[in-house]
Amino acid sequence: MPATRVAVPMLDLAAQYAPIRDEIRAVVEEVFDSCRFIGGPHVEGLESELSTFVGAGHGIGVSSGTDALLVAFMALGIGPGDEVVTTPYTFFATGGCIARLGATPVFVDIDPVTFNIDPEAVKAALTPNTKAIVPVHLFGQCADMTAINAIAAEAGLPVVEDAAQAIGARDAGGGKAGSLGPIACFSFYPSKNLGAAGDGGMITCADADLAHTMAIMRNHGMEPAYHHEIIGGNFRLDALQAAVLRIKLKQLDGWAGARRKNAADYRELFAAKGLAEADGAPGGPVTLPAERAGVHHIYNQFVVRIGDGKRDAVRELLRGNNIGCDVYYPKPLHLQPCFASLGYSAGSMPVSEQAALETIALPIFSELTAEQKEAVVDTVAEALVG
C-alpha cells in the first residue's frame, strides 16, 4: 500500500502572504488613514508601474479582468452586427463580454501543443463583419502574436490581447504580454500570478487618445463632472486593491522565476519515471507543457495532457490524496448552452474538445516544496502505472 503523502493545495496564498504581511498591512492602514478609497495615488501609481513593467504606453485600472475586456470592446465600438474572432478554449469572460455587447463571438480552434488560438484558423474565419481579433495567452504562454498581428494588419483589424493569465510572459520577439497589440487586458483575481485581495483588472494601451477614452468609460463616461459625451459604467479599481498590487508587483519576477523552476523540476521528475518527455513532446502517458521557441512562459497554470481516457482517474486519485488539481476547461465555449444559437456542435472544434477531455492542471505556485512536487508526480504515476 502506498505511503501517506504530504497534502498539496492547488494554490497556497497564505504562504505567499506571510513574507509580505507587514508591508501589506502597512499600506492598507495607509489607505484607511487617507480615506481615499476610489482613485488617488495608489491607482495612478499602479497604472504607471504596471504599464512600465509590460512595456506599454498607458495603463487604466479597472474593477476586474472581465471589465477590462468589456471596456476595451466598448471603446472599439463593438456591438450588434459585429463579429469578434476568439478561442473557445478559455475562461467564459472572453466570449461573454463579446456577447454582452450584442456582437457575435466567432470561435476558432486551437493549436494542440500550446492550447493557444491557431492563427491559420483566425485568418480563415475573417469576414467583412469582423471587428476585432482576441487571442488569449493561455496558462501563461503568449499566443503567436507575430502571426496574429500580421493577419490583423492585412485585414485592418485591432487586436485585443486577453492577457489575464500572462502578466510577465514574453513572446518569441521579446515583447511582453500587454505590449504586443494596441490593447491588452489583465486580471488580478487572487489566483493569478499577480493577484489582488479581491477583484481587480488593468487595461494597457499604446494610444493616448484611446487610453483616455477608456479611462473616462470606467467612470460612467463622465468628463468633466456630471458631463457625459459617451456612455460608460462603474468599472473603477479600488485604491485598496491598487495599494496591495503595488506591493506584490515588486515580487512578481521572483514568483514567476520560482514557478518556472517548479515546472523544470516537474519535467525532471516525470521524465525520471518514464511518464513523459521533458521537452513537452508526445511520448508516454503524460504530455507536459511545451514552450514555443524563444518564449518566456510564466506558468499561471501547469497543464498536462493525459490520454487514453485516464485523465479523470488521475484527478480522482490526486484529490483522494489531498493533492489539488483542476480542469481548465471541461466544456469549451462553443458548446456552452448560452451559445447554442451560434450553431456550433460537438466536433466543430475537435482540438479544443480533445483538450477539454484530456488536460489537468497540477499545483505550480511559487512556494511548492520538493516534497510536494514529488508527491504530485508519485500520485500521478500511481494512477497511471500502479
Give the position of cell 513593467: 53
Q: Which residue type is seen at 92?
A: F
Q: What contacts 156, CB < 8 A, 6 or more positions away?
A: none
For residue 204, what is the enclosing H or E element? strand 201-205
Q: Which three cell numbers stand for residue 257?
A: 522565476
Report the distance separating Cα 318 and Cα 313, nearest Å.
9
Report how far apart, in Å, the C-alpha atoms of 317 and of each of 151, 263, 281, 376, 386 are.
Answer: 44, 21, 25, 10, 11
- Cis before 329 (ω within 30): yes
Spatial contact of 202 and 63, defined as CB atoms under 8 Å apart = no
Q: What is residue 280's DSSP assignment?
A: S
Give the pLDDT score at 173. 86
Provide the residue count of the chain: 386
Residues of the chain with pLDDT under 70: 1-4
Q: Which three cell numbers stand for residue 304?
A: 498536462
| Helix residue spans in the chain (DSSP H) | 13-17, 21-34, 41-54, 65-75, 93-100, 119-125, 145-155, 208-217, 239-249, 252-272, 311-320, 350-358, 370-385
Give the pLDDT score at 4. 66
Taking every pair of Cα atoms in the chain, the longest distance, rounded to a whole number of angstroms, is: 71
- For 307, counting Cβ atoms within 10 Å of its Cβ (0-12 exposed, 13-18 middle, 19+ buried), the class is middle
| Residue 229 neighbours by CB distance under 10 Å | 9
Q: pTM for the complete prediction? A: 0.96
Query: Per residue in 277-289, pLDDT tens?
Result: 989 999 899 999 9
Give the position of cell 480615506: 35
Q: Which domains does the chain have, with CATH numbers?
A: 15-107+116-249 (3.40.640.10), 252-385 (3.90.1150.10)
